[in-house]
Amino acid sequence: MKRSKVVLKEIEARRNQRKGIANFEAYLHTINDIHKRLTCIHIAGTNGKGSTLNDIRSVLQLAGYRVATFTSPYLETHYDRIRINDECISEESFLNYYDTYHQGWYEYGLSAFEIDTVIAFLYFYEQKADICLIEAGIGGRLDCTNVITPLLSVITNIGMDHMEYLGATRSEIAWQKGGIIKANIPTVIGEKHPEAVSVLKDICHKQSSSCTMTGLIIDPLLINRELHFTYANERYILTQPAYYQGENCACAIEALKILREVYHYSISKNVLHEGLKAASWKGRFEAVWEKPLIIIDGAHNEDGIRALCKTLETMGSVRILFSALKDKETTAMLEMLCTCCNDVTVTEFDFYRCKKAIDLAGRLPVKINPDYQKAIQTAMRDSEEPLIITGSLYFISEVRAYLKRLSASSN
């Protein structure tokens, strides 16, 4: 087996190790608190973190800044979660960090996610990134990324997900996500639910953090696979044709406004508009096949499916292929999908947390095909109606790789 695969397998086997943020900080102290030398933005939320981060990245990169990004989970390779100017860390660099530092990682019992976070911090510092956009993993308060002191904190939204770790109510989850709010540091909040907003505003008040709430998206229209909308009296165009991307974009706009007005980053109006239009985020309402049109969307929880359905309602007749993990509220998710589409197929993929197709189906009016590859091939052969493939991000990652191979073999 290739050495890089051996190393990644070794790291990923440490997924469920959790010794806490204090232990992680103790380890970072042994490498000279490298995280304290970075200029960062911290982004948390149930959905939309990656898209918001990428919108900010696209604008700052167009403005001439060297922009580092740390996201999860990965979509194509393990390395794509660590990027500078949208270019992944190389396999060679990743292995060099492993060779230099892995003894310390294991001595402190770091988890796979903590190891990736350390590599990102080291890489961003050594590559002299101007600004680092750091996406929280699960939650925020106890997430290992919360060791940073950012220029500003962004909380996209609060949804009912990862409740076994974050709490059973929207207020409890908001309290966990709100843990990234820092004293005297600005915060942008995209959430609209009164219960969650109340918690987040209270944290901002206690931390003396200025709180910017995003406004509403006005007159959103899908035109030729582009999203046109008005926000704060400005008309924007995104090449990401899903309504929920407008809401994510609002968080990015407010964050960029703070960077410009508070921290004096050079971001012109033209760069803002062009950077947002140029941004695209793989796996989020992404067209990956043309005839028939196949769109993949990592709507992996109830709020994500609800947002997806809002866009699907404008598309006419479509077909849906769905798979999800065992710990998700799949019945509620599928009920929403069945409401907006009368052709839903459930499937499964090779992942230890994947829910079996027969269990997904239950008594719902859905088709069952446990082999997702055969389900895709059948859909491609039988109809020209668009196929929407959605559910787990791990599923979307596997589907995307499969379709990429299929495209290569047909050329």
> Which tops the pLDDT comparison, 79 or 410?
79
Query: Which pLDDT score is estimated for 224?
Result: 87
Of 187, 157, 314, 178, which Cα lies nearest the Cα of 248? 157
Provide the pairing of β-strand 82-84 with 87-88: antiparallel
Q: What is the mean pLDDT of residues 386-396?
A: 95
Q: Where are the alpha helices (DSSP H) in 127-227?
A: 163-166, 170-177, 194-206
Query: Which pLDDT score is estimated for 279?
Result: 95
Of 178, 154, 176, which Cα lies nearest the Cα of 167? 176
Residue 390: pLDDT band by 50, 70, 90 thresholds? very high
Query: Which pLDDT score is estimated for 386?
Result: 94
Residue 411: pLDDT band by 50, 70, 90 thresholds? low
- The DSSP code sequence of 232-291 is TTEEEEESS--HHHHHHHHHHHHHHHHHHHTS-----HHHHHHHHHH---TTSSEEEETT
Mean pLDDT taken over the chain: 95
Query: Which pLDDT score is estimated for 160?
Result: 80
- Residue whose entry in the numeric block shows the structure tokens 């060297």: 66
Edge-to-edge strand list for the sheet holding 40-44: 87-88, 82-84, 67-70, 131-135, 40-44, 152-155, 187-189, 211-213
pLDDT at residue 193 above 80? yes
Residue 410: pLDDT band by 50, 70, 90 thresholds? confident
Residue 154 belongs to what H/E stretch? strand 152-155
Query: Which pLDDT score is estimated for 409?
Result: 80
Neighbours of 327 (CB within 10 A): 12
Report how far Cα 197 is from the mean position of its chain's Cα atoms.
21
Taking the CA atoms of 258, 261, 263 and 266 in sequence, report the sign of the dihedral they define: positive
pLDDT digits (tens, 9 = 90+) for 371-384: 999 999 999 998 78
Give backbone dihedrals phi and psi of 151, rounded to 5 degrees, phi first.
Answer: -70, -35
What letter would DSSP give residue 325?
Answer: B
Q: What is the mean pLDDT of residues 271-297?
A: 94
Q: Cα Rg for the chain, rounded, in angstroms?
A: 21
Query: Which pLDDT score is estimated for 116?
Result: 98
Q: Which domains does the chain have, with CATH numbers?
A: 3-214 (3.40.1190.10), 286-410 (3.90.190.20)
340 vs 322: CA distance, rounded Å: 14
Of 393, 398, 328, 331, which Cα lies nearest the Cα of 137? 393
Q: Which two tokens stand for residue 191?
A: 């959430």
Q: What percent of the chain has pLDDT over 70?
A: 100
Of 245, 255, 256, 131, which Cα lies nearest the Cα of 188? 255
pLDDT digits (tens, 9 = 90+) for 92-134: 999 999 999 999 999 999 999 999 999 999 999 999 999 999 9
pLDDT digits (tens, 9 = 90+) for 320-359: 999 999 988 899 999 999 999 999 999 999 988 999 999 9
pLDDT digits (tens, 9 = 90+) for 221-274: 989 889 999 999 999 999 988 999 999 999 999 999 999 999 999 999 999 999
